[in-house]
Amino acid sequence: MTARALLRFDFAAARRGRLVPLFAAGFALASLALALVGLSAGGVVVVQGFARTSVSLLQLVLWVVPLLGLVLGAVAGVECHELEFVAALPLSRRAIVVGRWAAWVVALGAALLVGLGAAGLAIGSLAGAADGLRYLALIGVALLLLSAALAIGLWIGVAVGTRTRAVAVAIGAWAVLLVGTDLAAIAALAILPPGDAGWELSLLLVANPVDSARALGLGLFRADVLAGPTGAALRRVLGGWGAWALVAGLAAWTVGPLVLAGRRFARRDL
Amino acid sequence: MLGYLPQRLGVPPTTVLRDLTALVAAVRAVPLADALARLADIGLGDRAGATLAQLSGGQRQRAMLALAALGRVEALLLDEPSISLDTEGAEEVRAEIRQARSRGTAVLFASHHLHDVARLADRIVVMVDGRVAAQGTLPELAAAAGVSWNEVVAEAPIERIYRILVARRRGGSVAPALVLLRGDAA
């Protein structure tokens, strides 16, 4: 009952601002625009409409979801320091942190479902329901990425403590996750002897939630067909337990930062 | 169970009073209807849907005090409960403290408002630089400071007593006084 009350309290706070409906509307519009552009390109509406447009939508997810998750998570983390009254109630500090994370996952997750759901309806009605289940799996990947980004943002917010610095660090982390590790991968390829970089690059893939989501999303839609040799290499990585390792990596990026944020907040003098 | 009222608000000002009330009620195992009735008791029944930022300073502090004391709270810890309130708001908070006391709740509060201390406290602890400079009832502190006054005809010269005690410890600086109110249960 207490956990539900805490979740309801934090959820009320999360949905009170204009951000969530704005995100839902903006994401829905952008998704629909991408879906319609994707459907009209190349005359592939009937055969591969869902797959092609989903890959376009995946790029939108990979850019927008981590940014929003990290920034809003950071702000929510900083706000934990304003909860002196709530922290004095017989509630554990970890429960307060997890409550805030869960509330934002529910609020932004619902907005994400609205956006991707609207695009999915458009694709389904114009191009048929083929690959619809894969599309649902793509939404699942987006939710996992959102959950991880919010957890990392929350950890940043709790650790940094001031709003401006937390947002700056969150944006920095977004840049590193989106581009930084790819640059590191390119550097690794340049340094390591040819043919020896397989497991290091796979590790880099699991170590970065954005890359994990990208690989999973591409894998869902037969990336070898769509992305040529790159996709084929990706498919090799994802074969066997590879995809589950990526899912586990994304889950770990949720649990790990949440545990660290809880610990940090528990030790903090408010 | 201990209730605590921090000096600053302690929740984001955009928090809706009803949401906070529901949380405190759930945590303290008080039915929500009873918690909302408590808000009505303090004249905020029609303000439950407002955010804390939309309430006046006095209303906000009264609401937070009522929530801090909600349920079977045996002791209340209040940090500057009447700071930055106007005269009316401060009087409302004093009334809430008296009510909590009459319910048998022990109240410990820190305050720079010495007249609140004189009116409300059974026992006073004067702190200077984080250390106890003096403690006792008001007449005991007056005696320790060498100040005499007629309780029947005049209010206690608490500021004078305080200044003397602080100056004796370490002249000049102003420090909060810690005050213990004893309720019936304490």
Cβ within 8 Å, pair A90-B27: yes
Strands, sheet with B177-181, edge to edge from the N-terminal-most edge strand:
B2-5, B75-79, B106-111, B177-181, B123-128, B131-136
> Which of A73-77, A204-208, B78-82 has the least mean pLDDT?
A204-208
* Mean per-residue pLDDT over chain A, rounded: 83
Question: Global pTM?
Answer: 0.82
The two structure tokens encoding residue A243? 């995809």
The residues with which A233 forms a beta bridge, in sequence order, are none
Mean predicted confidence (pLDDT) in A138-150: 95
The two structure tokens encoding residue B100? 């909590």
A29-65 per-position pLDDT tens digit: 888 887 777 666 555 444 346 777 787 888 889 999 9
CATH 3.40.50.300 intervals, chain B: 2-106
* CB nearest A85 (choices: B2, B11, B22): B11
Cβ within 8 Å, pair A85-B5: yes
Q: What is the CATH number of domain B2-106?
A: 3.40.50.300
Tell me the shortest Cα–Cα distance from A173 to chain B, in angstroms: 26
Question: What pLDDT is stored for residue B31 in this prediction?
Answer: 94
* CB nearest B22 (choices: A5, A84, A91): A5
Residue of A192, A228, A186, A240 whose CA lies nearest to A211: A186
| Residue A162 CA from chain centroid, whole number | 24
Residue of A159, A11, A19 whose CA lies nearest to A99: A11
Query: Residue A151 and residue B144: Cα distance in Å, rounded?
Result: 57
DSSP A180: I
**Per-residue pLDDT at A74 exceeds 90:** yes
B43-56 per-position pLDDT tens digit: 888 999 999 999 98
Q: How confident is the model at residue A144 (pLDDT cuts 50, 70, 90)?
A: very high
**Could you give the ipTM of this predicted complex?**
0.79
Tell me the shortest Cα–Cα distance from B11 to chain A, in angstroms: 5
Query: Residue A223 and residue A61: Cα distance in Å, rounded?
Result: 17
Query: Residue A65 and residue A70: Cα distance in Å, rounded?
Result: 8
Cβ within 8 Å, pair A9-B1: no
* Mean per-residue pLDDT over chain B, rounded: 83
